[in-house]
Amino acid sequence: MKFTEPAGANPIDRMTVVGRPQDRIDGPRKTTGTAPYAYERHAEAPNAAYGWIIGAAIAKGRIRSMNLDDARGAPGVLGIVTAVEAGKLNKGDFNTVKLLGGPEVDHYHQAVAIVVAESFEQARAAAGLVRIDYDRAKGQYDLAEGLKTAPLTGGDSNEGSKAPAADRTGKFESAFNAAPVQLDATYTTPDHSHAMMEPFASLAIWDGDQLTVWTSNQMIAWGRGDLAKTLGMPKENVRLISPYVGGGFGGKLFLRADAVMAALGAKAVGRPVKIAMQRPLMANNATHRPATVQRIRIGASKDGTIQAIAHESGSGDQPGGGPETAVNQTKLLYAGPNRLTAMRLAVLNLPEGNAMRAPGEAPGMMALEIAMDETAEKLGMDPIAFRVKNDTQVDPEKPDRHFSQRQLVRCLEEGAQRFGWAQRNAKPAQVRDGRWLVGMGVAAAFRNHINMKSGARVTLNKDGRVVVETDMTDIGTGSYTIIAQTAAEMMGVPMGAVDVRLGDSDYPVSAGSGGQFGAANATAGVYAACVKLREAVAQRLGFNSADLTFADGQVTGGNRSVSLRDAAASGPLTAEDRIEFGDLGKTYQLSTFGAHFVEVGVDAYTGVTRLRRMLAVCAAGRILNPKAARSQVIGAMTMGVGSALMEELAVDKRFGFFVNHDLAGYEVPVHADIPHQEVIFLEEADDKANPMKAKGVGELGLCGVGAAVANAVYNATGVRIRDYPLTLEKHL
Ligand code: MOS
């Protein structure tokens, strides 16, 4: 089904199952520990051997020698695979750096060998006996240094679309210089780690030249293609299965070393091999969100109209990599005739930078939305009034393109009212509660919606049950549930009569999970397949009207009603289709909007910041399941608190690695850090987005939170911190 014009009325509009706060159908399996993750596939491979990954001990250079003798003789060892033995592996399409290094080393903890043994403990012990000597080369690990000579770049944006190097509209410099109120400030965000609970994990099983890998991955088709390419085999011979994922956050968008090493290890020892990447390797072996240096200039008239706005972002990556596209939102969020956005990319030899938790907008909004707060203060304007004044209903760079929907102003105003914004004292450092300095902050929320092709297969079985199969993943987001809701609504059966099978490359290729594009696109693909299945049912039953109702397990046309069970009595009916998109997404700008409100207390003596209240108001098209969506948004708000107050990979600039490379050293918020959170969804249905009339919402919940926290800290203390995270020593 090609989506070419705004969606008219369709069966989803009934909203008898879709749009309701349904419990997660995978919830009981998750909470009772009966949802098996890749490393727990004991039934599939009772004889699996265990792999232990050895990560490079240098960041850049060359392996001079490897002595494997002692390790090979150690108890239980079945084999050792190194790059030498692995032959020349190809690099896949989605990673910048090889997943198995050697003899050249590209970054610290790049996998250089795997030891396979009968037991996990034996593999670990033997790995300690492998002797590797390196020739260390000089690398560049300092972003500020690297940016001094970094060229402007277009590069790949993190979600695969090309971003031009520098975009200009009007004449920024002269307009900025002429503006009576000017802000010119630079903000920095550090390197971030996904820090998902489940590490990279894979179980590889060979059957002749057929390879099956149980793994933990967000994008099955990408992973399958890349694994085949890396190993130099036809992708038809590779099957990737990932029905449960213990968190991805962008770190599992791509094939990673665990899958490659498990496949090589299993081949080498003639047994299934499983690997869970050791936690201390996770930060440096994985991709990460790269640090940014962002300069923002805003020039405004005295009445608060933005005349000129510029956002320049610098980040670093491995040679051949791409920039963090932190300027995305600045192209679209506020009006202003004179505009400039640009990115610089420094070549660094740190681990690869790539997508993490709303790449682009997440760190971009951390800078832009402090800049808006600072400019409002210079104008003597309320920060909400300043944002409202500069709202736009068209793409400021291409004024003939309208937003499909844009309720930013309503989000801000509704939130202000609910949060009690009128009680805020605009003058900083005025409100005390015992030892706490109390402040309120606001920020807009913005994240683009991306259309992706997505396919599904739907079967009506003899027992009247409906089975949905798609390679879509559920990374803890609720995919199983919203897909069941969609099929139930379309076929007119209860949710309990739908079986959802996900995350298997044998199923039709879906959008996958990433960039908040999963829910809306994957369900639209299921919608398309269900439309075909409805047609197949009608045809078999000899209905000649196209005007049929599927409800209560019956299909009804005119005054004739037949049960779905009867429709399938002579055999199951199967339909497969995918949603594809025409030019509507080019005619209209598809984005999601919101507002974040935060109240903090900052300890007047220690500078420790504690969240007191949080509210998000979101406008993101139809909300398919308000309960699951709320969970997404409060999780995202929590990530925003992490990025504002604690998350930071510490870079060792001498040796080129992230020092705090485990969950003890990399701080993320825990329950005690998070206060009352409230989420409000504005009523919307975006008929320009897809037949579901839904857009992404999960990452919207993150984009802006960090700045709202920072603005609240400023309101509490009068100290403006532009360098994330806002740790206590920065108040001095
Ligand atoms: Mo998300 S960082 O696009 O998986």
Domain limits for position 79: 48-138+217-234+242-247+252-275
Q: Are residues 127 and 223 in the same domain?
A: yes
Q: Are residues 164 and 257 in the same domain?
A: no
Across 149-153, 513-517, 631-635, least confident range: 149-153
Instruction: Report pLDDT digits (tens) over 560-609.
Output: 999 999 999 999 999 999 999 998 878 999 999 999 999 999 999 999 99
The reply to whether ligand 1 has any atom less than 6 angstroms from the CB of 250 is yes
Q: Are residues 568 and 663 in the same domain?
A: no
Q: Are residues 300 and 414 in the same domain?
A: yes
Residue 163, pLDDT > 60, answer no
Residue 614 lies in a domain: yes
Other C-beta atoms within 10 Å of 380: how many? 11
CATH number of the domain that 16 lies in?
A: 3.30.365.10
Cα 192 to ligand 1 centre (Å):
13
Q: Are residues 595 and 571 in the same domain?
A: no
Residue 157, pLDDT > 50, answer no
pTM across the whole model? 0.97
Atom of ligand 1 nearest to the CA of 194: 2
> What's the confidence (pLDDT) of residue 545?
75
Q: Are residues 121 and 185 in the same domain?
A: no
Cα 513 to ligand 1 centre (Å):
7
Q: Are residues 545 and 457 in the same domain?
A: yes
Q: Which of 268, 211, 258, 236 is closest to 80 using CA atoms?
A: 268
* Average pLDDT of the segment spanning 227-236: 96
The complex scores an ipTM of: 0.97
Percentage of the chain beyond pLDDT 90 is: 95
Residue 58 lies in a domain: yes
* Average pLDDT of the segment spanning 168-183: 97
Number of domains, the chain? 3
Assign 544 a pLDDT band (cuts: 50, 70, 90). Answer: confident
Q: Give first-to-last CA distance, the chain, whole Å.
A: 59
> What's the confidence (pLDDT) of residue 187?
98
User: Of the residues 253, 450, 521, 632, which should be mutated to test ligand 1's pocket, given the most ligand atoms within 8 Å of the CB?
Assistant: 253
Residue 439 lies in a domain: yes
The reply to whether ligand 1 has any atom less than 6 angstroms from the CB of 356 is yes
Pick from 537, 552, 584: which residue ends a domain? Answer: 584
Residue 164, pLDDT > 80, answer no
Residue 704 lies in a domain: yes
Atom of ligand 1 nearest to the CA of 355: 2
CATH number of the domain that 70 lies in?
A: 3.90.1170.50
Assign 154 a pLDDT band (cuts: 50, 70, 90). Answer: low
> What's the confidence (pLDDT) of residue 516?
97
Residue 687, pLDDT > 80, answer yes
Percentage of the chain beyond pLDDT 70 is: 98
Q: Are residues 69 and 173 in the same domain?
A: no
Residue whose structure tokens are 């967000």:
218
* Average pLDDT of the segment spanning 100-110: 95
Pick from 553, 584, 615: which residue ends a domain? Answer: 584
Are 342 and 151 spatial neighbours (Cβ–Cβ below 8 Å)? no
Residue 42 lies in a domain: no
Residue 539 lies in a domain: yes
- Please identify every residue annotated as catalytic: 699
The reply to whether ligand 1 has any atom less than 6 angstroms from the CB of 514 is yes
Atom of ligand 1 nearest to the CA of 248: 4
The reply to whether ligand 1 has any atom less than 6 angstroms from the CB of 359 is yes
How buried is residue 64: exposed, middle or buried, by Cβ count under 10 Å (0-12/13-18/19+)?
Answer: exposed
Residue 204 lies in a domain: no
Residue 19 lies in a domain: yes
Pick from 520, 549, 584: which residue ends a domain? Answer: 584
Cα 449 to ligand 1 centre (Å):
13
| Higher pLDDT, residue 413 or 164 | 413
Instruction: Report pLDDT digits (tens) over 414-449.
Output: 999 999 999 999 999 999 999 999 999 999 999 999
Backbone angles phi, psi at 440, to 5 degrees: -120, 145
Residue 152, pLDDT > 90, answer no
Q: Are residues 328 and 434 in the same domain?
A: yes
Assign 91 a pLDDT band (cuts: 50, 70, 90). Answer: confident
User: Of the residues 357, 361, 477, 643, which should be mutated to test ligand 1's pocket, given the most ligand atoms within 8 Å of the CB?
Assistant: 357
Assign 88 a pLDDT band (cuts: 50, 70, 90). Answer: confident
Q: Are residues 374 and 364 in the same domain?
A: yes
Q: Are residues 21 and 109 in the same domain?
A: no
Q: Are residues 474 and 532 in the same domain?
A: yes
* Average pLDDT of the segment spanning 609-616: 98
> What's the confidence (pLDDT) of residue 89?
87
3-state secondary structure (DSSP) of residue 62: strand
The CA distance from 424 to 502, in Å, is 48
The CA distance from 665 to 428, in Å, is 33
The reply to whether ligand 1 has any atom less than 6 angstroms from the CB of 515 is yes
